[in-house]
Structure 1
Amino acid sequence: MSPKRTVATWTTAVLAAAALAGCADSQRDDDGGGEGGGSEDAGTFIFGAAGAPEMFDPYYATDGETFRITRQMFEGLLGIEPGSAEVVPELATEWTPNDEGTEWTFTLRDDVTFHDGEPFDAEAVCYNFERMFDQNEAGRTAGEYWGYVMGAYADDPENSLYQSCEATDEFEAVVSISRPTSGFPTMLTLESLSMQSPKAMEDGDANGIAAEGEGFSFPEYADNPVGTGPFVFGAYDEANGEITLERNDDYWGEAAKTSELVFRVIPDESTRRQELEAGSINGYDLPNPVDWAGLEDEGNSVEVRDPFNILYLGLNPEANPQLKDLKVRQAIYHALNRDQLVQTQLPEGAAVATQFMPDTVSGYNTSLEPFPYDPDEAKRLLAEAGAEGMTLEFAYPTEVSRPYMPDPEKIYEALRTDLEAVGIKVKVATASWNGGYLDNVSGEPGKYDAYILGWTGDYDAAYNFIGTFFGNLKDNDFGTDVMPWGKQLADDLQAADAIVDDDERAAAFEEINAQIMEEYLPGLPISHSPPALVVGPGVDGVIPSPLTAEEFDTVTVGGE
């Protein structure tokens, strides 16, 4: 790696960040909360959520329904420009690396307080990093996002990307990492790495997480979170599935346009539409694609996001050793009529996947063709592998819609029909999204032979897709640790991620994508889908995000 090249690459990023900082400051400070920008009663925005939250501490959260709520209350050092995947300043105004890219200096805003009145400063930043780094055994399992991006915790510092944080001034923090990576500091836009009040975490025993059955029990703090964002936590009526957030009138930036934000849990999509039509909610996510035209005809606004996701069929060789055979995995892939699935189950604009990332991400391999639908070849491969009549315990989630699978049961039925058509016996398994499904998929080993799941990118980087899936050999949902090529794949991904030059890094990821699809096939990419959300008449200010990371502080209701 050339130091000169390293400096040039990162200097460009830093100069861009500084320019963005001025823009962000200008936008945030206009009509700020301190100037009475949101002191009047501006109504309530009620959003129909597809699933219940796990809890409200973003560090331990793993699913979109929880992040949809915590995103309104918490902020990170870096943020994402609404409506894009572009990194912009948030609680940090500038970030600059040393020549090696292993030490990053963050200049912080000096006008921010947490919801409990405690100051946001460099000491708070370092407290947050050390809290995330130093977790008990249950916390290390639950805090999946830290594990994905940082690799390890305080009990294994040699394998951790994060090394230390030092408050070098009241509003200056220096974070040291073990190696250069394309993901840092962009990963600091992740909801899980948001800044939280040190005092509130201490008072609420925030790290007092414990294993409980197949899941976890969370401490008091997880029900009373404290961030810096435009909304503060109000209440959670779990019996009625309703979460209430209140406007933060002391917010450092422009105050939220509504005085209250309510999330009403309505698992069934058709019921969400009925509630919208009745005026009981003002919007909901993931309307059924067949309803888009009808919703528009009724005066609603359907906001379609650009696709930035992947739906896949996960295969678990630890649960079913027959899946260790490449011929068996290829046979299953040949059995799936993905063109038909895309045409009948997904919205206009959806596409059959050729790899585990969308084509907008650098590192996408344009030479890869869709794996062909060929039932006869599937049968031949099964016979050759001695797997004729094999049984798969195949699972799908209930009580949820996701950007990449608007109706999980219908997608499951289509795939099940294809598998049975080539002689595979399917044993159905199911669980609710946050009531066991995610835990059953990501257990050690996972509970199911095969399952449908997906991923919406957190930020625009190849490693955020395929690195998340296969870069951590010890902890991934595909059981690659039992495969002879699993370690090589993980090592190759980490080596590619450490390449500083953009073009060289993209070429390395293109090659890895080809290997994954042609030599390894650890799972089966199905499709990419442009998800939508819908809001009712009189609702303005919603900015659809390709990351499905909408912030609702800009929303107005009823013309307010």
Structure 2
Amino acid sequence: MSSKRFSAATALLALALVGSVLTGCAASGNRVAGSDDAGPPVAGGTLRFAVLDAPANLDPHSGSSYPESLITSNITDKLTYQNPETGAIEPWLAQSWDINPELTEFTFRLRGDVTFTDGTKFTADSVKENFDLLGFGDKALGIVPVTAYWVGYTSTTVLDPTTVKVVFNRPNAGFLQALSLYFSGIVGHSTLQLTKEQRALAQNLVTTGPFVVAEHVYQQKTVLKKRPGYNWAPASRKHNGEAYLDAVEISVIPEAAVRTGALRAGQVDAILDVNNTDEAPLKAEGYRIVPQLIPGRDISFDLKTDLFPTDDRAVREAVKLGWNRDALTKTVLTSSYKVSSSVISSRVPGHVDFSAELKQDQARAEQILESAGWKKGGDGIRVDAQGRRLELALLGINNLVNNKPAYELIQQDLRKIGIDLKLNVLPIPDYTAAATQQKRWNIQVANQSRADVAVLEQVYSPQYTNSSKLAPENPLYQQAIDKLSAVSRTLDPGKRAEAAEAAQRFLLVDQVLTVPVYNPAQVTAASPRVHNVGYEAQSRNVFYDTWIEPR
């Protein structure tokens, strides 16, 4: 039986073909090898970095908000690395791997020189412990499995100290990419023995990454310190060895204007979640503006099929056609963002441009509603034959600067065609609590960062998240399973592209289960002293290559 083989040697050869390998001699003083637009990097210093939201749960396996995954992305390593520039899956803690033709068995050969922060060695047993908890969970510890990524997980078998075999009972074409994500960070044995609540605490984190959490004060700051002796970064990073920075101090400043003011006053060196109106002025003042589109599912209106009136396809179609994407681009978004052309970002391999099908057509939207029996009432809002108003309750998060103004623009446009969109745009903790009231919301808005087309199955399949709430008795239930699972059944580029196109068409055109709005981005503004501001493939800030000029 043939297998697909990817080795570290192959990765290095590919890198040599597409770009120069970064080399250099160590310089005197605190200058180190490498390159940047301002010359060789400088080792040392503390980067003061301000964010909008406070990280609460620091467990790499379950901390899911952006600020939480930003922390865990800097303190953990993964078996695989997704190159943020090329999208290629490259070796990291796994040096190479084999995949069986059915995409159900993955055999990994691991590095033998990696240690955890408590001094213990990273081995095949470490991988089995982590994967069994991710795949099965542990009720006694309060750990739930990461089902969206690990569905069908059967076992991890230790073949020798540096080799493991992972088995699924169904094809999993997205598995290698899933192993590069923030939740797949490897943690140590002592951490894995703890309860869910204990694992969320900074002092209990044992990891292998280039930084460690030195201090964590909820809603105030988190301090990361360089780990001495770190020497196992992916080959395509800008350098190897220890991080350049001595420390990163991440402060929580919820107000965008206050974050910008802190940057201008020199109280912080860089900020995330830059207000749209601040991008151009800061750039003109000499600050670095570094954006990266977030790959995965765009900010999208997921329409519930189990609730009135979004159980009516005509209503879903009218929501898709009833608002102006050009106006969104001109009045809300900056050049750091893109209006959606599909449910997945253009940065996801397999993206298909559905701009024509998403283009505003209010006349058609009104015709569709009229034909479905929705008549305008005295206040301009439509009602059905039973006198029920065409009112939609939307639940969204205010963690991105464009969200609320984008939803308000759509709200105004939809009102013109007789749809009353009620907005509830809340901070993350309030959103999380409100999301438990599933029967309250016709539309739930979120994005899911993952640079693989398998994100569609993860989010929309009735077997997993089922964001459209397709019930088993709904004729679309099995159709959705079949259409969306096809993206996980092959790694053949042509066949996977066909499956990706069919899945997007099913969601956007055939059944209108979601209405994409815009492709979000992370936007960092930094002092000119800060260099190599970067992101990993899912657009979390990573500080391993970042350096700062001495004052």
In the superposition, the TM-score normalised over structure 2's length comes to: 0.84
1:122-141 matched pairs, under 5 angstroms? 122-136=124-138
CA contact (8 A) 1:336 1:373 kept: yes
Q: Per-residue deviation at 1:69?
A: 0.8
CA contact (8 A) 1:167 1:173 kept: yes
Partners of 1:237 and 1:199 lie apart in 2 by: 23
Matched residue SS, 1:243: strand
Q: Structure 1 residues 85 and 50, CA, compared in 2 at 3 Å: closer, same or farther?
A: farther
Return the match for 1:243 from 213, 222, 235. 222
Partners of 2:12 and 2:549 lie apart in 1 by: 37
Aligned match of 1:108: 110
Aligned match of 1:391: 391
1:149-164 matched pairs, under 5 angstroms? 149-151=149-151, 160=152, 162-164=153-155
Q: Per-residue deviation at 1:356?
A: 1.0
Structure 1: runs of 5 or more not aligned = 152-159, 210-217
1:27-426 matched pairs, under 5 angstroms? 42-81=44-83, 83-136=85-138, 146-151=146-151, 160=152, 162-202=153-193, 205=194, 208-209=195-196, 218-223=197-202, 224-238=204-218, 241-253=220-232, 254-306=241-293, 308-309=295-296, 310-318=298-306, 320-348=307-335, 350-366=337-353, 369-387=356-374, 388=382, 389-398=389-398, 400-401=399-400, 406-426=401-421
Number of residue equivalences: 514
Partners of 2:217 and 2:109 lie apart in 1 by: 39
Q: Structure 1 residues 103 and 515, CA, compared in 2 at 3 Å: closer, same or farther?
A: closer
Partners of 1:125 and 1:29 lie apart in 2 by: 34
CA contact (8 A) 2:51 2:273 kept: no
CA contact (8 A) 1:539 1:559 kept: no
Matched residue SS, 1:423: coil
What is the identity, as a one-letter code, of the residue corresponding to 1:121?
Answer: T
CA contact (8 A) 1:258 1:557 kept: yes
Matched residue SS, 1:118: coil
Aligned match of 1:156: none
Q: Structure 1 residues 37 and 165, CA, compared in 2 at 3 Å: closer, same or farther?
A: farther
Matched residue SS, 1:553: coil
Aligned match of 2:426: 431
CA contact (8 A) 2:342 2:353 kept: no
1:529-540 matched pairs, under 5 angstroms? 529-540=520-531
Matched residue SS, 1:70: helix
Partners of 1:553 and 1:474 lie apart in 2 by: 34
Partners of 1:503 and 1:82 lie apart in 2 by: 22
Structure 2: runs of 5 or more not aligned = 34-41, 233-240, 375-381, 383-388
Q: Per-residue deviation at 1:103?
A: 2.5
In the superposition, the TM-score normalised over structure 1's length comes to: 0.83
Greater alpha carbon shift after TM alignment, 475-484 vs 268-277: 475-484
The two structures, once aligned, show a CA RMSD in angstroms of 3.2
Partners of 1:292 and 1:36 lie apart in 2 by: 31
1:16 aligns with 2:16: no
Aligned match of 1:467: 457
Q: Per-residue deviation at 1:350?
A: 4.1
CA contact (8 A) 1:85 1:547 kept: no
Q: Structure 1 residues 142 and 174, CA, compared in 2 at 3 Å: closer, same or farther?
A: closer
Deviations 1:387-424 (A, max 9, x none): 423111223323x22xxxx3322122112212222222
Return the match for 1:505 from 496, 501, 509. 496
Greater alpha carbon shift after TM alignment, 11-20 vs 108-117: 11-20
Q: Per-residue deviation at 1:444?
A: 7.2
Q: Structure 1 residues 86 and 409, CA, compared in 2 at 3 Å: closer, same or farther?
A: same
Q: Per-residue deviation at 1:307?
A: 5.8
Partners of 2:353 and 2:457 lie apart in 1 by: 19
Q: Per-residue deviation at 1:81?
A: 3.0
CA contact (8 A) 1:165 1:175 kept: yes
Identity of aligned residues (%): 22
Q: Per-residue deviation at 1:448?
A: 1.9
Greater alpha carbon shift after TM alignment, 408-417 vs 228-237: 408-417
Return the match for 1:440 from 430, 434, 454. 434
Greater alpha carbon shift after TM alignment, 489-498 vs 271-280: 489-498
Partners of 1:414 and 1:424 lie apart in 2 by: 13
Partners of 1:368 and 1:13 lie apart in 2 by: 39
Q: Structure 1 residues 29 and 109, CA, compared in 2 at 3 Å: closer, same or farther?
A: farther
Aligned match of 1:214: none
Q: Between Structure 1 and Structure 2, which shows a larger proportion of helix residues?
A: 1
CA contact (8 A) 1:82 1:550 kept: no
